[in-house]
Amino acid sequence: MRILEKILGRHPHWGVHPDDHKRPAADAPLRSLPLPEVLYVPLQQHVGNPARPVVLVGERVLKGDLIAEPNGNISAPVHAPTSGWISAIGEITAPHPSGLPQLAITITADGADAWCERLPVADPFALAPEEISRRTAAAGVVGLGGATFPAAVKFNLGRRLQVGTLIVNGGECEPYLSSDDRIMRDRAAEVVDGLRIVMHAIGAREALIGIEDNKPQAIAAMRAAAAAFGNVQLRVVPARYPMGSDKQLIQTLTGKEVPADARAAEVGVLVHNVSTCAAVHRALRRGEPLVERIVTLNGGALTRPGNVLAPIGTPVVDLLRFAGVSGRPARLVLGGPMMGIVLPHARVPIVKGASGILAFDAAEARTLTAGPCIRCGSCTRACPMGLLPLEMASRIGVGDLDSAASFGLSDCISCGCCAYVCPAHIPLVQFFSHAKGELSARERSRLRNDATRRLAEDRAARLAREAREKAAASARRKAERDAAKAAAEGGSRPLSMRIADTTSEAAT
């Protein structure tokens, strides 16, 4: 089969093809979650600095009100997902594998779900591209495919590097997830309008929408929505994990390979997710900030899997209750089963980047014990980045991180294909996550050392300057004293001047 596929050239040589488990959740119509009583909105839901709260405990807010402002160049604001009052600003468990605390704003909903004043734009194409970036940034739009990079920062990068092609990522290659599929089926017009606004913002000439061939309804809906626009093309790509990774999608659609340590914009393309495009449409056309998203609820432990529209900050436990849990889920995952993160418990909120919540039953969550490496090379064939996972992992195993880095560890996209195909069940991608974290910790430590040295040098310079100034001041005083003495010996000197001299000396 593999050989046949290779001859036909239909399938890329990299990646894996896991069972997609997307149905029946993907075919269930989109539902809206009943408004939760309490929402926990984390201050960091994006790549970059955490946002800074601009509200006080006890304050009343309307849906869409700014509750935390961006802090620094790479950051994003956070808005109230419903109307109510701020009941706390403090630490909650982060939706993060570490289970560490994170700052969040707690909003008690008043049930009215009343919007703040919105400023829609009738014709976004009449606005300057900079203005679109500004409004997108102010609406808190981040990459909704999972990377959560602030969208406006990417617009500015694309404009600066004069990107010609916008690639719209409708790949959604992760098994179980169907939130992008659903948004393309139900809101295709919004997605297409949003991507045209993004094209205008970055100055792109054409847009390519890449959708995997396992989503026929989404393809039909998007094709109909994009038919009116000649510079927007839809390309069906083979369903292969990780097709939704930007580098793989760029290569499949344009044939361009993003070099190591380079960004996609440097080869003249920019990738945005379909949900991000829809969020840009809402930010501009309706003046609505990003306060809700479509979340896939799936997994063997749920009785009513499907997609729900949920406000940001909804506790996972509310979503699970909505989808009906049978028994106790063996594992909760935020995101997809390949790259998602295991949640410590269900009392964590969903964030902007939460594409799905998966509740696995015992059969889905089973972990196989790792055996010795049999040098079969399956991981090397599966790696979409052309790396040698077995070589890197064996080096990380003995703590030789630099040697692992020389094998291209920084190019690893943590897709997990290697660990998925490994017949010995070696947790390869976990080794790489550990090594990347350890290497960046070392880098932080090195930067800190440099900063310390700079501070110490500044102090030495300050002490030297002070000593110099002191010496200069005392030399000056001595010269003045000598001059005064010489004048006094000269005799004829008025009394008042002598008094002035002594007072100035006493003062010093």
Euclidean distance between CA atoms 406 and 383, whole angstroms: 17
CB of 142 or CB of 294, closer to other proteins: 142
CB of 393 to other proteins, least distance (A): 6
* β-pair type (331-334, 341-342): antiparallel
Among 5, 37, 457, 482, binds other proteins (CB under 8 A): 457
Q: Is 474 in the site for other proteins (CB under 8 A)?
A: no
**Longest Cα–Cα distance in the chain:** 116
Nearest by Cα to 135 from 146, 148, 115, 121: 121
Which of 452, 474, 502, 504 lies at the binding interface for other proteins (CB under 8 A)?
Answer: 452
Measure the CA angle with vertex 280, ends 275 and 286; round to 5°: 115
Helix residue ranges per DSSP H, 140-254: 151-160, 179-186, 188-202, 216-226, 246-254
Q: Which stretch binds other proteins (CB under 8 A): 133-141, 318-326, 343-351, 434-442?
A: 434-442
3-state secondary structure 277-315: HHHHHHHHHHCCCCCEEEEEEECCCECCCEEEEEECCCE
485 lies in the site for other proteins, by CB under 8 A? no
Q: Can residue 161 be called a binding residue for other proteins (CB under 8 A)?
A: no
What are the contacts of 391-398 at 24+ separation with CB within 8 A? Answer: 392/431, 392/432, 392/435, 393/426, 393/428, 393/431, 393/432, 396/431, 396/432, 396/434, 396/435, 397/431
396 counts as binding other proteins under rule CB under 8 A: yes
Q: Which of 13, 425 has the CB closer to other proteins?
A: 425
Q: Which is nearer to other proteins, 177 or 393 (CB)?
A: 393
Determine the Cα–Cα distance for residues 364 and 21; give it in Å rounded to an integer.
11
Of the residues 32, 73, 98, 502, which one makes contact with other proteins according to CB under 8 A: 98
**Using the rule CB under 8 A, is 423 a contact of other proteins?**
no
- Residue listed under structure tokens 């932080």: 444
Does 455 participate in binding other proteins (rule CB under 8 A)?
Answer: yes
Judged by beta carbon, residue 360 or residue 431, the one nearer other proteins is 431
Which helix (H) or strand (E) is 86 found in, with range? strand 84-93
Q: Which is nearer to other proteins, 278 or 351 (CB)?
A: 351
Is residue 76 within the footprint of other proteins (CB under 8 A)? no
Q: Residues 99-118 vs other proteins: string with x where CB under 8 A?
A: -x-x----------------
431 forms part of the interface with other proteins (CB under 8 A): yes
Using CB under 8 A as the binding rule, whether residue 466 contacts other proteins is answered as: no
Q: Which residues does residue 170 pair with via DSSP β-bridges, in sequence order?
A: 211
* Residue 78 contacts other proteins per CB under 8 A: no
CB 490 to other proteins: min, Å = 42
Binding flag, residue 94, other proteins (CB under 8 A): yes
The reply on whether position 444 binds other proteins by CB under 8 A is yes
**Residues 185, 27: Cα–Cα separation, whole Å:** 10
Answer whether the bond into residue 77 is a cis peptide, omega within 30°: no
Closest distance of CB 359 from other proteins, Å: 23
Angle in degrees, CA 239, 240, 243, rounded to 5: 95
Rounded to 5 degrees, φ, ψ at 234 are: -110, 130
Which residue, 42 or 64, has its beta carbon nearer to other proteins?
Answer: 42
Whole-angstrom distance, CA of residue 134 vs CA of residue 192: 20
User: At its nearest, how many Å lie between other proteins and the CB of residue 462?
Assistant: 7
Question: Least distance to other proteins from the beta carbon of 61, Å?
Answer: 25
* 477 interacts with other proteins by CB under 8 A: no
369 near other proteins (CB under 8 A): yes
Q: How far apart are CA 212 and CA 181, in angstroms?
A: 10
Min CB(447)–other proteins separation in Å: 9
Shortest distance, position 312 Cβ to other proteins, whole Å: 17
CA dist 364 → 301, 330, 332 (Å): 9, 8, 11
**# residues contacting other proteins (CB under 8 A):** 45
- Short-list 341, 349, 293, 291, CA closest to 320: 349
- Least separation in angstroms between CB 253 and other proteins: 32
Comparison of 83 and 102: residue with beta carbon closer to other proteins: 102
Interface pattern 11-50 for other proteins (x via CB under 8 A): ---------------------------------x------
* CA end-to-end distance (rounded Å), the chain: 94
- Separation CA 190–CA 203 (nearest Å): 20
127 binds other proteins (CB under 8 A): no
213 touches other proteins by CB under 8 A: no
Question: Nearest distance from residue 449's CB to other proteins, in Å?
Answer: 5
Binding site for other proteins (CB under 8 A): 44, 94, 96-98, 100, 102, 369-374, 393-394, 396-399, 424, 426-427, 430-431, 433-434, 436-438, 441-446, 448-449, 452-453, 455-459, 462
